[in-house]
Structure 1
Amino acid sequence: MKSLRNIALFTTAWVLLSSQGPRKETPAAADLIGKWQKEAGTTWEFRADNTYTVALGDGKTSVSGKYTITANQFTIVDQSATGMAGACPAEQKGVYKFTVKDKTLQVTAVSDPCTGRNGIAPGKYTRE
């Protein structure tokens, strides 16, 4: 009788767990935090306070702003720029999908009306 009850409990637990389907791996916000460099010399730094800086390869040009993360996407809004870069207007929010695996960040544009940012953001980055 006791073993029959254990079998029933095990079967119920197995059915409940297996019915949830495959788990989707979503990168955590913490995975994005840090410095990431693209081969072309562009470096993104995402900070824990939801701010970011993009430094272009010339070492003099940068853009700073704020970001939010929802699931596997981040939304960015530029706030200031130095050097030859121009900050995108605040109403031109950029939405990008991202994945992090080991020391590699892959960024893909979802929507970004700012052509300058959309031209440099997508691609593969390596954690510094």
Structure 2
Amino acid sequence: MDTAPDFPTGELRITAPHRELLDQVLDKWSLDVLNELCERPCRFNDLRRAVPAVTQKSLTATLRRLERNGIVERVLLSTRPVAVEYRITPLGKTLRHPVEVLLEWAAAHLPEIERARDAFDEA
């Protein structure tokens, strides 16, 4: 029951910069971090608690990648001691719709994908 049109030849062009960006935004931890930051700004330890499976090293690397790409900003808070808070940027907020579309696609096609996996594993 595929209702989506096929991509015409040559329309879907994924270049190295596109692939690198998508790999960084859709990696193992980025979506979990972005999901938290879409709700509210968070300090590092708040993110650690919200995503308990992530290691400190992986969370640090994920936040740096997202910050480097302009999707997350690191804000120094003038508290004593000085604290850091992470916030999603206006650019980062524009990711919400494309991610929702991918999630809708996954939900719509998951039964079909699971059947394909089962068939593959049985072969």
Q: Same fold (TM over 0.5)?
A: no
Q: Normalising to structure 2: TM-score of the pair?
A: 0.22
Q: Going by fraction, where is strand more abundant, 1 or 2?
A: 1
Q: Going by fraction, where is helix more abundant, 1 or 2?
A: 2
Greater Rg over alpha carbons, structure? 1
Q: Normalising to structure 1: TM-score of the pair?
A: 0.22
